[in-house]
Amino acid sequence: MRAIALVDCNNFYVSCERLFQPKLEGKPVVVLSNNDGCVVSRSQEVRDLGIRMGVPWFQLKDLAKRHGIIALSSNYALYADISNRVMRLLSQCCPGQEIYSIDESFLDLTGMADLTAYAQTIRSTVKQCVGIPVCVGIAPSKTLAKLANHVAKKHKQFHGVCDFNTMTTRVMDNLLAKIEVGEVWGVGRQSTGRLQQMGIGSVLELKYGPAKRVRAEFGVVMERIVAELNGEACIGLDEVTPPRRQIICSRSFGMYVSSLDDLEQAVIAYTTRAAEKLRDQQSLAGGIQVCIRTNPHKEKDPQHQPSMLLPLFEPTDDTRLLCRAALSGLRQIYRSGYAYQKAGVILTEIIPATARPRTLFEDAAAQQRSASLMATLDRINRRMGSGTMQLLGEGVRKGWAMRRGNVSQRYTTEWGELAVVR
């Protein structure tokens, strides 16, 4: 039987914060999204208070005061480094790994003996070496492994490891009967509603549901989910993430922005970041879309949400060319007199750098210069810290930059911000 494990870090961002601030242990802690908008990670104490994921922080302020909830801004430099450590450790535990997200990884443990004990070893190794608590779910398919992990997290008696492969069908079905169908990987909110109308409320009911009707109503994707629930592995392990077809970089500002100058700085900053990602995966972009928008939740304020797609003369990964295109788009869509809240750029028509089409007017020497300039830029920023070298147009003051009121130190990526011991 196949054995797929899903290793998932427990309230990952909060766990990273606690690693370097042990006094947060046992206290209710939340981590907030960019600009301290809403809750993106909750400690168990906060879950127990009934606070849901994604709640806007301003709605919680009273509750927070009453229960002494500590709110931290997100510190992605720290989370990324800790995530890399966890993922590399996990890759040493098994022959096949798919990194699914910043805090989740599928492992292929097929053919290995005594998996429940092995999963406990994985848990204690990650906890000891990186200090992050994880739970492990094991099953014959990825969809079931996700559910096994859900069980491992919810029920204390499993001690963080739930192995469906060692259970009888009856025991497993009993567990699946208690999980809502919306928890299934790939079943969205809309499908959940429609499934419930068909009388399918629990995972178990979907597993043994009317296969033909489900297929007719929802198509092959849902049929595949049902097969996976029945222990048939239909979704393979993606060990290498395919290069992205679209690269998006968009963020809300720390405050409302209405001048073209500030917007230009932000667009240059986001384009720079997107171009870095593009070069990272060795691709070229054939077009760039730029968009800005006012706050859609402030219905009384005048609204303006334009965007524009700009084709490039030839596919490129040069920050300067991409910025030039993005800026010309921005200048065309910008209207004064609006309070903009967010800007973004999307790189489109992405092709591998090796597939660069030849054109009649191309300038090989200029391409060479651009390639070596970009490579140097990336090397400097990787070694000296991101943003060490940037286009001047990005600005130095950055009044529009993210608001992060209570961000912790970058304990593992900045010499000046190490943890201090007495």
Partner 1 sequence: MLPSIHSGRTGRQTRRTARGLLSLTHPNKELFRRQRALLRGAVPAGFPSPADDYVEQRISLDEHLIQHRESTFFMRVAGDSMRGLGIFDGDLLVVDRALPAEHGCVVIAVLDGEFTVKQLLHTAEGRVLRSAHPGYADMLIKPEQDFAIWGVVSWNIHKV
Q: How far is the CB of 417 from partner 1 (least distance, A)?
A: 9
Helix axes 115-130, 76-91, angle to 10 degrees: 140
Q: Please tell me the total number of residues recorded for the chain in this structure.
A: 422
- CA max distance for the chain: 69
Tokens of 259: 């001048």
Kindly tell me which of 84 and 390 has the beta carbon lying closer to partner 1.
84
Kindly tell me which of 37 and 131 has the beta carbon lying closer to partner 1.
131
Binding mask 396-415 for partner 1 (x = CB under 8 A): ---------------xx---
Q: How far is the CB of 89 from partner 1 (least distance, A)?
A: 5
Handedness of CA 150, 156, 160, 163 (dihedral sign): negative
Residue 360 engages partner 1 in binding (rule: CB under 8 A): no
Q: How far is the CB of 415 from partner 1 (least distance, A)?
A: 8
Residue 117 engages partner 1 in binding (rule: CB under 8 A): no
What's the CA gap between 170 and 52, in Å, rounded?
32
Kindly tell me which of 238 and 414 has the beta carbon lying closer to partner 1.
414
3-state secondary structure at position 329: helix
- Tell the burial category of 309 from Cβ atoms under 10 Å away from its Cβ (0-12, 13-18, 19+): middle
Q: How far is the CB of 96 from partner 1 (least distance, A)?
A: 19
Residue 25 engages partner 1 in binding (rule: CB under 8 A): yes
Residue 128 engages partner 1 in binding (rule: CB under 8 A): yes
Q: How far is the CB of 332 from partner 1 (least distance, A)?
A: 42
Residue selected from 1, 113, 355, 421 as contacting partner 1 according to rule CB under 8 A: 421
Residue 375 engages partner 1 in binding (rule: CB under 8 A): no
Pairing mode of beta strands 134-139, 161-163: parallel
Span interacting with partner 1, options 5-13, 86-94, 189-197, 255-263, rule CB under 8 A: 86-94
Residue 22 engages partner 1 in binding (rule: CB under 8 A): yes
Residue 385 engages partner 1 in binding (rule: CB under 8 A): no
Span interacting with partner 1, options 21-29, 42-50, 264-272, 307-315, rule CB under 8 A: 21-29
Q: Locate tokens 């060479």: which residue? A: 368
Residue 10 engages partner 1 in binding (rule: CB under 8 A): no
Q: Distance of alpha carbon 376 from its chain centroid, rounded?
A: 28
Stated as kind and residue range, the H or E segment containing 174 is helix 169-177
What's the CA gap between 241 and 251, in Å, rounded?
24
* Number of residues this chain uses to bind partner 1 (CB under 8 A): 18
Stated as kind and residue range, the H or E segment containing 146 is helix 142-154
Residue 133 engages partner 1 in binding (rule: CB under 8 A): no
What's the CA gap between 272 and 295, in Å, rounded?
24
Tokens of 235: 């979704």
Kindly tell me which of 57 and 411 has the beta carbon lying closer to partner 1.
411
Q: How far is the CB of 264 from partner 1 (least distance, A)?
A: 39
Residue selected from 122, 130, 222, 310 as contacting partner 1 according to rule CB under 8 A: 130
Residue 88 engages partner 1 in binding (rule: CB under 8 A): yes
What's the CA gap between 203 and 65, in Å, rounded?
38
- Provide the terminal-to-terminal Cα distance of the chain, rounded to the nearest Å: 52
Residue 85 engages partner 1 in binding (rule: CB under 8 A): yes
304 and 294 in contact (C-beta within 8 Å)? yes
Residue 373 engages partner 1 in binding (rule: CB under 8 A): no
Span interacting with partner 1, options 43-51, 128-136, 291-299, 347-355, rule CB under 8 A: 128-136
Residue 418 engages partner 1 in binding (rule: CB under 8 A): yes
Residue 419 engages partner 1 in binding (rule: CB under 8 A): yes
Q: How far is the CB of 83 from partner 1 (least distance, A)?
A: 11
Pairing mode of beta strands 29-32, 70-73: parallel
Sheet containing 29-32: give its strands across.
Answer: 39-42, 29-32, 70-73
181 and 192 in contact (C-beta within 8 Å)? yes
Contact residues toward partner 1 (CB under 8 A) are: 22-23, 25, 85-86, 88-89, 128-131, 411-412, 418-422
